[in-house]
Amino acid sequence: MHELDDGKEKTKVEPTDKEKSEAKCPVCEAYFPAYMDMCSNCGHVRERRNQIEAVPGEMEEITTRMTREDKQLWWSMLQYYVQFNGWKVGRAANVYKEKFGVWPRGLDDTVVIPSPELRKFVDDGIKKYIRAIRRAR
């Protein structure tokens, strides 16, 4: 919507029958106030139904451990950017460090075509950099 507000009163959407029945107290048929879960007429407390389902079990942190082969693959894909996109080796190393938290040491400089995951990571980093520059102005 790319129009200015004309100042006229807007029509409001009529609540559905289900919404109307949920707004009524099941005990005394009075309407619940919009901001309360307790009927102001009889004191009945309505039960809020949560959309989240509780499942018995134990929560565990999901961690994915990157192997040396995975890190080598990422470094090799970054070498593609060095070879064909005019990147300096230092830029590739900084992208690698941003991903893994460590500098690329002892890895081969073989060239591999980048995966969509790496391309998205690089593109997101570029977008983040551009936003930071715009904010600094």
By the 8 A CB rule, do 100 and 93 touch? no
Residue 90, both tokens: 């230092």
Q: Which residues pair with 38 in a beta bridge?
A: 45
Give the mean pLDDT per block of 10 residues along the chain (137 residues). Answer: 77 83 83 80 80 83 84 95 94 94 93 94 94 89
| pLDDT reported for residue 91 | 95
Alpha-carbon torsion angle 40, 41, 47, 48, nearest 10: -40
| pLDDT reported for residue 84 | 94
| pLDDT reported for residue 6 | 80
What are the residue ranges spanned by the domains of the chain?
A: 16-46, 68-136
| pLDDT reported for residue 119 | 95
d(CA 58, CA 122): 36
| pLDDT reported for residue 16 | 85
| pLDDT reported for residue 1 | 56
